[in-house]
A and B are shown apart, each in its own frame.
Chain A
Amino acid sequence: MMSRKTRRLWLVVACGAGVSCATALMLVAFRSSLSFFLSPQEVIAKHPAPGMVFRLGGVVQANTVVMGTRDSRPYTTFRITDGQASIPVVFTGVLPGLFRQGQGVVTVGTMAKGDREFMADTVLAKHGASYMPAPVEQALRKAGKWNPKFGPAPNAATWDDKSPRTIEADNNG
């Protein structure tokens, strides 16, 4: 015969399993709406209707950023890519400080008629999980291990405890 404590323990375990399964099923069911943004590939596959507001996220493709002014407001055009597909974006307004080539961004807006380009009202910058002082970033760049223009930082094991001088020297070795 089980003691009352053991019975309560099994009850808690069973309820825990039930609640976990219910939550997992719910999260799977709401998967698409839990994602904060669509990647270019998903946008091309789903064809959101023109006029429907959604978020488009990805990396600012290198060498596609063009900045200018229109009606005395700054405007920017660039392409957002996920490595598989890329979509041109037009944005009028002030960009966040972290915006640069190779940076992850999330833009809010609609597809223009003809499904050609994305008209963004808002641009939010993502940043990677890496934190490094400027000399380390410079050293990685000089060693040819990383150009921030082309995406996220390399494997942390190659830099997270090495002096900038060592990182640069690795290049020649």
Chain B
Amino acid sequence: MPDYTGDIDARPIGAPQSKAGAWLHRFANPGRFQRLVQPILPWLTMVAFVTTVVGLVWGFFYAPADWQQGIASRIMYVHIPAAWVAMNGYAALAICSLLSIVWRHPLADIAAKEIGPVGAGFTALCLISGSLWGRPEWGTYWVWDARLTSVLILLFLYLGHMALIRAFDNPQHGYRAAAILGLVGAVNLPIIVFSVYWWNTLHQGNSISVTGPSKIYVTMLYPLIICTVGFYLAFAAMCLGRISSGIMENRARALLLARAERGGA
């Protein structure tokens, strides 16, 4: 795809019409994406790995335990970052769905397809770690309160999206259908965040909010922040790696198809 962004007035019919559109198309170009991502991917992976390990070791072995929960409170260094990544991963998926439906960006389609499994993994990690945390502290692995149920629905949304986007022989049909599911499912995100305030739940309120002080003591907060950064970087590395190979898969498929059409072996 040629680069029209330098000279908007010279664009041919169908090329982006606004500055914002041009900016979007600049990053929607799979070739440019590959040139940008391929060199940084090994570094991103390494930094993500080191950050996560530092955060977890700090949290598990050096940070103090909670005064009443004791050692089980250390599960939060996995549980809370996993929950944040699971939710923001879905937000990313919803944004890709919007770009796919409105602007028909091929890269957004591939991104939505590849974010799904990674996000589902983090959601499962959040649910499993939370369940193992609930048993010693609350006295139960699972209850059907609003927070737990809405996160379980998030997992099903991810799984449904994964299935739907791969369900059609014509991938374009899968992209359209999955994008609608991705956007509709976004309604679940505010429900997850505010469930603990809108309804009585067994799950406690949010410990960290944008407004107001953190309810986690500073020596426990630092490793938590490092773990969170590590988890986000790991999520980004996994998604970018998957998208990169997704682009190459598509290209390989297109080349094979073209060769088959020419009647080649």
Contact = CB atoms under 8 A, between A and B. Distances in A.
A16 B183 contact: yes
Interface string B189-212: 001000000111110111100001
A84 interface: no
A39 B200 CA distance: 9
A127 B204 contact: yes
Nearest to A164: B217
B199 A153 contact: no
Nearest to A94: B139
A162 B30 CA distance: 50
Nearest to B196: A129
A69 interface: no
B138 A133 contact: no
Assign chain A's interface to a size class: 35 or more
Contacts of B216: 130-132, 160
A49 interface: no
A131 B217 contact: yes
Interface in B167-207: 183-184, 186-187, 191, 198-202, 204-207
B213 A156 contact: yes
Given A36-B199, A98-B138, A160-B215, A127 B68 contact: yes
A82 to B, nearest CB: 10
Interface in A115-144: 122-138
Assign chain B's interface to a size class: 35 or more
A72 interface: no
B67 A124 contact: no
Contacts of B249: none
Given A129-B207, A131-B220, A133-B219, A124 B140 contact: yes
Contacts of A155: 213
Contact of A98 (B69, B186, B199, B215): B69
Contact of A137 (B67, B204, B220): B67
Contacts of B138: 96, 98, 124-127
Contact of B143 (A20, A36, A156): A36
A34 interface: yes
A38 B204 CA distance: 16
B68 A157 contact: no
Contacts of B219: 133
Interface string B73-103: 1001000000000000000000000100111
B101 A12 contact: yes
Interface in B142-184: 143-146, 183-184
Interface in A13-57: 15-16, 19-20, 23, 27, 31, 34-39, 57
13 contacts: A5-B21, A9-B102, A12-B183, A19-B187, A36-B146, A100-B68, A106-B143, A106-B202, A122-B139, A124-B139, A129-B206, A129-B207, A157-B212
Interface of A: 3, 5, 8-9, 12, 15-16, 19-20, 23, 27, 31, 34-39, 57, 95-98, 100, 106, 122-138, 148, 153, 155-157, 159-161
